[in-house]
Chain A
Amino acid sequence: EVQLVESGGGLVQPGRSLRVSCRVSGVSFADYVMNWVRQAPGKGLEWVGCIRSKAYGGTTEYAASVKGRFTISRDDSKSIAYLQVNSLKTEDTAVYYCSRGRIRDGYCSYMDLWGKGTTVTVSS
């Protein structure tokens, strides 16, 4: 069974840090892009960032809203992608989804598999 399972969400105070994980099973991991997408309460989808496969250098891209505060990494030996979130703000409150993605001409393209998400709440 194909599964993308996020974990690590929770209630965090503003300014603190958190690491969210995405474990992938039942499907290839190492050859694909991994994305993080978030959805604030009652809002639409917002792309956070992506990490390419090692074949494409394992490089990362980030949305302007999180660049410098969020870091995406991957452990291909464990089929896990990570999202390190620092200096959290109340506006970072959202459901965070991981998704497996494809590459097109070197850029992160569409996302063909999604996890169910983990909720991060930033509040004092």
Chain B
Amino acid sequence: QSVLTQPPSVSGAPGQRVTISCTGSSSNIGAGYDVHWYQELPGTAPKLLIYANNNRPSGVPDRFSGSKSGTSASLAITGLQAEDEADYYCQSYDSSLSGGVVFGGGTKLTVL
């Protein structure tokens, strides 16, 4: 059970907008630590999607965006495409945990 809570699954039709939440607490997101997002396509290694709350690495489409407020963060995907079907993970730092780095439990995105 991670200290960062994500919904197990979300779904949307092509072209739609979906959001994935990442809920933390006062020892991680609420303490001001950055939130990062990763995409794991089936059978492949994770890939950095959003870093430091709302920054996209080079090559990531602007259909992907991140936000953070209070003890939560969100990943939004607009213009949903079939190739977006993947597992998505948030990651942050928690001052109460050994080592501090923590991933959310992951969210499976299904494109209908």
Nearest to B44 among chain A residues (CB) is A116
Residues in B with CB closer than 8 Å to A28 are none
Interface residue stretch chosen among A18-26, A60-68, A74-82 = A60-68
- What band does the interface of chain B fall in when counting residues whose beta carbon is under 8 Å from A? 20 to 34
**Contacts A49-B99, A107-B93; A44 near B106 (Cβ below 8 A):** yes
> What's the minimum C-beta distance from B106 to chain A, rounded to whole angstroms?
4
Does B76 touch A at the CB level, under 8 Å?
Answer: no
Residues in A with CB closer than 8 Å to B40 are 45
> What's the minimum C-beta distance from B47 to chain A, rounded to whole angstroms?
7
Does A35 touch B at the CB level, under 8 Å?
Answer: yes
B106 in contact with A110 (CB, 8 Å): no
Residues in B with CB closer than 8 Å to A35 are 101
Residues in B with CB closer than 8 Å to A64 are 97-99
Chain B 41-55 interface 0/1 with A at a Cβ cutoff of 8 Å (1 = within): 000111110011000
Chain A 39-72 interface 0/1 with B at a Cβ cutoff of 8 Å (1 = within): 0000011110110000000000111100100000
Q: A37-B103, A44-B104 are in contact. List 18 more A-B contacts (CB 8 A).
A: A44-B2, A44-B89, A50-B99, A61-B100, A62-B99, A63-B97, A64-B97, A97-B45, A97-B46, A99-B46, A102-B51, A107-B93, A110-B34, A110-B48, A110-B51, A110-B91, A111-B48, A113-B48
B interface residues with partner A (beta carbon < 8 Å): 2, 34, 36, 38, 40, 44-48, 51-52, 57, 87, 89, 91, 93, 97-106
A interface residues with partner B (beta carbon < 8 Å): 35, 37, 44-47, 49-50, 61-64, 67, 97, 99, 102, 104, 107-117
